[in-house]
């Protein structure tokens, strides 16, 4: 059985970034990803200034700039009653006063390609983690299936970065606290043509909401619905969804017919939860495995990356010196729990004050507090800082060896 310093379940943003940072520090790191590649549609792809800064600190800014991304300078909402700009990223300090919309598979390829330059990094594709190796109540590695055969890897540290339905978290007996989410989201695409609006915008209507994400030659569209509302919709005609799209975004008239059937609509069941304990001896959870986020603000990737940076900063030294213990894992949770709690509190407030009333048929107007924030440059800058940088942006402090 192979032995490594760290075994990571899942190669999403959290797992890929942690793998890179620990390999960069000179550690042996294996990352296990159940899929054959990263090509899955409708995954989070908003890369915020905090993450762009991390890429810069890793010397990857120039490589990132070569990826096909769309720059977002502001985020707003509009309805037939008016238009409001809530976040103005141009007011942020630093070299990256914008959000980059980049396909997540391109982001993950960038990070894992950088990690492969270090001898200690190995990415195992089509390797699905199924459980834990446990000795004397301590997690000492992972069980995974590859090529139809169950195998194992021993590790000083095992990391659950396998998403909101984490099998590693479940096998480790770590149970999330469900904070409740009153919404689900339908994702689909429609063509974008010259003359269409720019940037990300939420469009509010009575009982409905669209979020339009500019992807260059197409719109990635989120249609917000009440929790568990998809099955009743699916039992009806797709024409009703087409009608709502045109009602909320009239400029799409004529294109809505390209949503031909329900098979072209992807359901995201929104979860909002967090672990009370992110760790047990030998095991740490990060990213969605530690805290599933609402799509509000598009912060999921960035919190996952911040978790990975904080974990590497704290754990690389103890792993290198073979002295890792549970206090180190607890320190990672303490570092990242406050940003998680405050971000989730803000998301819950948006759910409660905006989305729930809107889906219940309230007038499509943002709450007074949001409108007051939108009314001043200071308020728009504050919103941009909360969304783009977060409560506690992390910076790369972990060591580096030569590639």
* Banded model confidence at residue 368, pLDDT cuts 50, 70, 90: confident
Please report the pLDDT score of residue 42 as a whole number.
54
pLDDT in tens, 42-67: 566 889 999 999 999 999 999 999 99
- Residue 81 pLDDT grade (very low, low, confident, very high; cuts 50, 70, 90): confident
More reliable by pLDDT, 311 or 359: 311
Give domain limits for the chain.
2-55+102-178+271-352, 183-226+228-268
29, pLDDT greater than 60: yes
The CATH class given to the 2-55+102-178+271-352 domain equals alpha beta
Strand partners, 84: 77
Phi-psi region of 90 (alpha: psi -120 to 50; beta: other; left: phi over 0): alpha
Buried b (16+ CB within 10 A) or exposed e, 50-60: bbbbbbbebeb
Residue 394 above 70 pLDDT?
yes
pLDDT at position 92 is 94
Indicate if the pLDDT at residue 398 is higher than 70: yes
pLDDT category of residue 251 using cuts at 50, 70 and 90: very high
Which pLDDT band holds residue 208 (cuts at 50, 70, 90)?
confident
- Inform me whether the pLDDT recorded for 200 exceeds 80: no
Q: Give me the pLDDT at residue 79, please.
A: 79
Q: Angle, nearest 10°, between helix axes 104-115 and 13-24?
A: 20
More confident of the two residues 361 and 269: 269
Percent of the chain predicted with pLDDT > 90: 80
For residues 65 and 40, which has the higher predicted lDDT (pLDDT)? 65
Instruction: Evaluate whether 89 touches 73 at the Cβ level (below 8 Å).
Output: yes
Residues present in the chain in total = 403
pLDDT band at 317 (very low <50, low <70, confident <90, very high): very high
H-helix or E-strand spanning residue 82 = strand 82-88
Buried-exposed string 368-403: b where 16+ CB fall within 10 A, e elsewhere? eebeebbeeeebbbebbbbbbbbbebbebebeeeee
Q: Answer whether residue 80 shows pLDDT above 90.
A: no
Local confidence band at 178 (pLDDT 50, 70, 90 cut-offs): very high
pLDDT at 372: 87
Q: Average model confidence (pLDDT) for the chain?
A: 93
Segment 255-303, tens digit of pLDDT? 999 999 999 999 999 999 999 999 999 999 999 999 999 999 889 999 9
Q: Tens of pLDDT along 2-15?
A: 999 999 999 999 99
Burial pattern 343-358, b for ≥16 Cβ within 10 A else e, equals bbebbbebbeebbeeb
Q: From CA 269, how far away is CA 180, in angstroms rounded?
A: 12
Any idea which of 249-263, 315-329, 356-370 has the lowest mean pLDDT? Answer: 356-370
């Amino acid at each position: 059985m192979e032995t490594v310093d760290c075994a990571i379940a899942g190669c999403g943003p959290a797992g890929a970034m942690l793998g890179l940072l620990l390999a960069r520090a000179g550690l042996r790191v294996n990352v296990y990803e159940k899929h054959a590649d990263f090509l899955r549609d409708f995954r989070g792809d908003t890369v915020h200034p905090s993450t762009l800064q991390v890429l810069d600190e890793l010397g990857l800014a120039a490589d990132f700039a070569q990826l096909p991304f769309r720059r977002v300078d502001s985020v707003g909402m509009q309805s037939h009653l008016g238009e409001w700009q809530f976040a103005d990223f141009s007011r942020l300090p630093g070299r990256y006063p914008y959000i980059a919309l980049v396909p997540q598979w391109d982001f993950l390829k960038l990070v894992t390609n950088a990690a492969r330059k270090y001898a200690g990094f190995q990415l195992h594709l089509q390797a699905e983690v199924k459980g834990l190796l446990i000795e004397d109540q301590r997690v000492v590695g992972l069980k995974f299936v590859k090529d139809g055969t169950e195998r194992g890897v021993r590790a000083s540290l095992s990391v659950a970065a396998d998403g909101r339905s984490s099998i590693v978290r479940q096998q480790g007996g770590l149970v999330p606290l469900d904070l409740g989410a009153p919404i689900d989201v339908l994702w689909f695409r429609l063509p974008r043509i010259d003359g269409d609006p720019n940037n990300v915008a939420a469009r509010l209507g009575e009982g409905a909401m669209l979020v339009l994400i500019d992807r260059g030659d197409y719109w990635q569209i989120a249609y917000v619905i009440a929790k568990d509302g998809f099955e009743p919709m699916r039992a009806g005609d797709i024409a009703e969804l087409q009608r709502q799209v045109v009602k909320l975004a009239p400029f799409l008239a004529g294109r809505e017919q390209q949503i031909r059937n329900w098979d072209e609509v992807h359901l995201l069941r929104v979860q909002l939860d967090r672990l009370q304990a992110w760790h047990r001896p030998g095991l740490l959870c990060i990213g969605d495995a530690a805290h599933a986020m609402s799509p509000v603000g598009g912060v999921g990737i960035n919190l996952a990356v911040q978790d990975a940076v904080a974990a590497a900063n704290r754990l690389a030294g103890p792993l290198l010196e073979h002295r890792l213990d549970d206090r180190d894992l607890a320190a990672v949770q303490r570092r990242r729990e406050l940003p998680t709690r405050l971000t989730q509190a803000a998301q819950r407030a948006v759910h409660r004050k905006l989305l729930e009333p809107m889906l219940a048929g309230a007038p499509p107007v943002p709450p007074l507090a949001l409108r007051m924030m939108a009314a001043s440059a200071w308020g728009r800058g504050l919103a941009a800082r909360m969304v783009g940088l977060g409560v506690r942006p992390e910076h790369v402090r972990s060591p580096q060896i030569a590639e």
